[in-house]
Structure 1
Amino acid sequence: MRFLMLMLTPFSLWANDIDPWEEVNRVTFEFNQTLDENIFEPIAKSYQENIPETIQNRVSDFSSNIGDINTFSNELAQFEIMSSVNTLSRILINSTAGLLGIFDIASELGLKKTYEDFGQTLAVWGMPEGDYVVLPILGPSTLRDTTGVIVDSLQSMEQTKSLDIIETTSLSAAQAVDMRVKLLPISNLLKKSDDPYIVMRSSYLQKRQFDIHNGNVPDDDEF
């Protein structure tokens, strides 16, 4: 995968103009790393090692189906008509034949999963990326992507407003653990690097360019 190749390259490519708050960002990064090493990573590893793979797959597929709803709205906002039709088809199939999304029947039928968030939508609309920032708990971001996170979170809250507090908390926890499990390989890369902060910053910014351009990064944006 191209993104993983980018992550394995040396990272001294980003000058201070993209990270003017580096000193504060590093403090937040260290806080996040300590929290992750002592709480989130152990939970993710225990989940991966002790929960049957079949159940893990059902949780992952259910989370993916919820994510498709957000992707669909952003594809419409970006005027990606064909992609939005594909994603809507995924939602309809997985929410019915897939039993509310716990089975990803759509992928088995050849309907490819795509990922779009409001940060990407803002980029397509022409909003500048803004400075790099490390958010407490949430991790790497930019001013543009932070705005996107807020909008996406509000949309997610709207989707789950019919659930009670216990159901909402359980759903959020399951999604968080599922995501953390998927990030375990990246954690291993960070631990092997001389400067995990630089690796995280560079890989995040490169991946965002990759996502915004749907994998077709223009030559002048290559790293």
Structure 2
Amino acid sequence: MNFSKSLVAGLLIASSFLGGCASNNAQEQAATTNSSTTVDTSDPRDPFESVNREVWDFNWEVLDAYILRPVTITYVTVMPQFARTGLVNAAENLREPANFTNNLLQGKIDDSLDSLARFLINTTVGLVGTIDVASKIGLERKEEQFGETLAVWGVETGPYLMLPFLGPSDPRSFTGDYVDGFAFPMTLIDGTLNLARIGISLLETRAQLIDQEAQLEQAVDDYAFIKNAYFERLEFRVTDGKSADKALGEEQLDDFADFEAMLEGNDFDSYDLPEEDKKEDKEKDDIDNK
């Protein structure tokens, strides 16, 4: 049991930063791709870029290469799809009270009530959240984090930070994640269960990145690419998607769509559903299009 706890803790540490982690050494890649290309380090959002790049390389080339990616591949290979779906649903359900609170603090009354209803329905009828009954009856997840609430209140992000083990972040988002950790029922979950919850979410997040690795490796400066996507995602979420058309060109939007789930530690909008769920979603889309 102690070994299992240590393994989960190790995965947690290694994987939590990798929401946006997907590069080799960016400066070396840029020089290889084009010897005349130089890396612009004048981004005012990133005053600690030289240190951030070193942390990025360590996170990706050591922790991901030797721990997280191999374990993720093993997890995806041996875990049945229905079990993965149930575990993800249960992990997401535990966040609904925080969604309720943050929607309420942002003045989104209807969305806050939807979040509360989702938690009550999925916890009871949905067997402790393993089945997303609420979505099947039309109550979609309205995810909001306290970092977004701070943004609505006028708090700036602060400098971009690539944290050891914790990955892409900024002071506002880091504070928001910390506060969300105290929302009910997080404080009632014991250490082992909480580690399992976060570990499952992070393994699923890393699994989504596997198909995007080739595209990331083609980027001239993938550190800058992910950093820009990170900030675009923050604005996208704070404005509920209204910033996308204005801030991003068509090509950038395509790239952003590919990496949005990767950068969101626990966002599974693009999660690979079982075939019966995909069929239901397709039938729903056909009805809407009519």
Sort the TM-score into its range (normalised by shorter chain): 0.7 to 0.9
Match of residue 53, structure 2, among 8, 26, 32 = 26
Q: Which of 154, 169, 172 is the aligned partner of 2:195?
A: 169
Q: 2:114 aligns with which of 79, 86, 90?
A: 86
Q: 2:135 is matched by which residue type in structure 1?
A: S
Aligned match of 1:198 = 224
CA distance in 1, matches of 2:248, 2:93: 32
TM-aligned CA deviation for residue 220 of structure 1: 6.3
| 92-101 vs 61-70, greater mean Cα deviation | 61-70
More displaced stretch, 18-27 vs 28-37: 28-37
Distance 1:177 1:53 in 2: 14
**Structure 2 stretches of 5 or more lacking a match?**
1-38, 250-290
Report what 1:209 is aligned to: 235
Q: 2:95 aligns with which of 67, 90, 103?
A: 67
Structure 1 gap ranges (5+): 1-11
| Deviation larger for 140-149 or 24-33 | 140-149
Q: How does 1:1-223 map to 2 (within 5 A)?
A: 16-34=43-61, 35-155=63-183, 159-217=185-243, 221-222=247-248
With over 3 angstroms needed to count, the CA separation of the structure-2 counterparts of 1:180 and 1:207, relative to structure 1, is: same
TM-score, length-scaled by structure 2: 0.66
Would you say the 8 A contact 1:62–1:101 is kept in 2? Answer: yes
CA apart distance, 1:111? 1.1
Query: Measured at CA, do residues 39 and 193 of structure 1 come closer, stay the same or move farther in structure 2, by a change above 3 Å?
Result: same
Deviation at 1:138, TM superposition (A): 1.9
Moved more, 141-150 or 73-82: 141-150
Rg larger for: 2
Relative to structure 1, the CA distance from residue 184 to residue 71 in structure 2 (aligned partners, 3 Å threshold; closer, same or farther) is farther
Q: Shift of residue 185 of structure 1? A: 3.8
Deviation at 1:183, TM superposition (A): 3.6
Q: Deviations over 1:33-83 (max 9, x none)?
A: 121222112222221122110001001111111122221111111111111
Between 1:110-119 and 1:189-198, the stretch displaced more is 189-198
The percent of aligned pairs where both chains have the same amino acid is 32
Runs (4+) of structure 1 exceeding 6 A deviation are none
Q: One-letter code of the match for 2:229? A: S
- In the alignment, what sits opposite 1:5? none
Q: Give the Cα–Cα distance (whole angstroms) in 1 for the partners of residues 100 and 217 of structure 2.
A: 35
SS at match of 2:168: strand
RMSD over aligned CA atoms reads: 2.3
Is the CA contact (8 Å cut-off) linking 2:181 and 2:187 kept in structure 1?
no
